[in-house]
Amino acid sequence: MIETHDTEPLPSEQVRAYLDSLPRKPPIWERDVADVRLDMRREALASSGEPEQVATVEPAQAGGVPARLYRPAGGERDVFVWMHGGAWLGGDLDSYDAVLRALANRAGCAVLSVDYRLAPEHRYPAAVEDCWSATTWALERFDRVAVGGDSAGGNLAAAVALRARDGGMQLALQLLVYPVLDHWVDSPFYQDFTKRYAHFAGVDGVGADDQAGMRYIWQVYVPDSMRRSERDASPLRAASFVDVAPTLLITAEHDILRGESEAYAQRLAADEVPVELVNYEGQIHGFFEMLGVMDDSRHAVALAASALKRAFRTESSGDVGK
């Protein structure tokens, strides 16, 4: 179902200030991947705020995959496996350091940040395999495990959750933050978004650029178009979601990916999977880790931490999904 709107999409005041502070850059498909990665890192570190102290931070080899393990005081039994965003071609452990420290402290659990292989050097399904290896490693070492990620990382977490379901491995929660869930970049939602966001926050062509950007990163991540419909690439296309982990979806109003989360929530609910969808009005893609500049980021992290606490407590009582 295509949404129709008569009003101009408006960013929140903090979003507008943030967007106004960014220099204009060429589109991602015109830039060198090393430059894109460096730019992603700079923006993340500039907006993430001062990192909090946690009890320990250690490098880890999680099933042979490089990772970083955060432990708050008392966070020994439960772990949240995090898969970072970055369009499958960028993102790193340091860029998510501040938000994962905050999550560890507020949720009272360990957090395992997975340094999975990136495209184009390592294309699909390398990232999925790395995240699956790290998650199975965590399942062998912790009492309770949840998975999550943002954007491309949300895609990987959703794929991992389906694999865990099929393997009879119980996850406490999947926390998906504006995830990529389907490769259909010409969907009705995308087409409507492109029209509505012909002008946004003082910039022309935002919607068309977002659509073209998504088309480009799918081509980089999964060059074989026939494989993009595979469940590991497009989790929304799974035949069934019965018995998938309970789910929290966090979305942003001004995000071309929002329609995929809405469709995913509907599919989960139809298969009787406990699911909560929380949309942040006025917000943009990427806000979750902007703890230093967005009130909504701090609210969303607190929301996510509360969901993790509840999920771990529910699983320990044996009532997950009831």
pLDDT per residue over 277-320, tens digit each? Answer: 999 999 999 999 999 999 999 999 999 999 999 999 987 665 43
Residue 60 belongs to some domain of the structure: yes
Q: What is the CATH number of the domain that holds 146?
A: 3.40.50.1820
Question: Which one is catalytic: 151, 234, 261, 297?
Answer: 151
Q: Does residue 285 carry a catalytic annotation?
A: yes
| pLDDT cut 70: percent of the chain above it | 96
Report residue 314 as tokens: 């529910």
Per the domain annotation, does 321 fall within a domain? no
Counting beta carbons within 10 angstroms of the beta carbon of residue 53, is it exposed (0 to 12), middle (13 to 18) or buried (19 or more)? exposed
165-191 pLDDT, tens digit per residue, is 999 999 999 999 999 999 999 999 999
Q: Which of 255, 261, 296, 297 is catalytic?
A: 255
Q: pLDDT tens, 11-48?
A: 999 999 999 999 999 999 999 999 999 999 999 999 99
Single out the residue of 117, 137, 131, 141 nearest to residue 162, CA to CA.
Answer: 131
Domain membership flag for residue 19 = yes
Q: Which domain range does residue 17 map to?
A: 13-316
The answer to whether residue 20 is domain-embedded is yes
Structure tokens at 272: 């009787």
- Give the per-residue pLDDT at 320: 38
Q: Is 8 inside a domain boundary?
A: no
Is 43 among the domain residues? yes
Is position 112 within any domain? yes
Average pLDDT over residues 39-68: 98
> Domain for residue 3, yes or no?
no
pLDDT reading at 56 higher than 60:
yes
C-alpha 65/C-alpha 164 separation (Å) is 18
Summarised one tens digit per residue, pLDDT across range 157-171 is 999 999 999 999 999
| Residue 151 falls in the annotated catalytic set | yes
Q: What is the mean pLDDT of the chain?
A: 95
**Mean pLDDT score, 92-100:** 98
Reading the block at residue 251, the tokens are 């979305």
Report the domain count for the chain: 1
Confidence band, pLDDT 50/70/90 cuts, at residue 321: very low
Catalytic residue among 95, 192, 285, 297: 285
